[in-house]
Amino acid sequence: MYKRLLLLCLLISLNFFEVAHATSDPTKPFASESASTITENKLVLQSIIHRDNVAMAIINGKVIKQGAALGQYQVAQINDDNVVLHSDDENIKLYIFKNKVLR
């Protein structure tokens, strides 16, 4: 009887861990929107990388460096927590881990 009870508990716990593992993705980015929901007219700063004195940013899933073009914008600065973009019409600042854009 104890063997059957132990087997039943083991099967229930395995099923619980499979469901928990399937619903959470530890590699999911911190951004509140997934890459599939990002539209071209909305810029989302997803990550900032500093490596070998070169700063790079991931915006809408694209890796860019300072000075690179991103649509109508040019990447002016990549700072520790934000990226500054310039265009003919406006300047914007994208912040990491925040859904705000300063114009």
Q: Count how many Cα atoms sit within 13 Å of the Cα of residue 37 in the half-sphere of its side chain.
A: 4
pLDDT number for residue 85: 95
Reading the chain (103 residues) residue by residue, the pLDDT tens digits are 778 877 777 777 776 555 555 556 666 665 544 444 444 468 889 999 988 889 999 998 899 999 999 889 999 999 988 999 999 999 999 998 665 555 5
pLDDT at 48: 93
Which helix (H) or strand (E) element contains residue 5? helix 2-23
Reported pTM: 0.56
Q: What local confidence, expressed as pLDDT, does residue 24 receive?
A: 61
pLDDT of residue 36: 42
What residue ranges define each of the domains in the chain, with the CATH number in brackets?
35-102 (2.30.30.830)
**∠ CA 24-60-36, rounded to 5°:** 50
pLDDT at 40: 45
Give the pLDDT of residue 37: 42
pLDDT score, position 53:
87
Burial of 45 (0-12, 13-18, 19+ CB in 10 A): buried
Which among 33, 73, 78 has a CA at the least distance from the CA of 51? 78
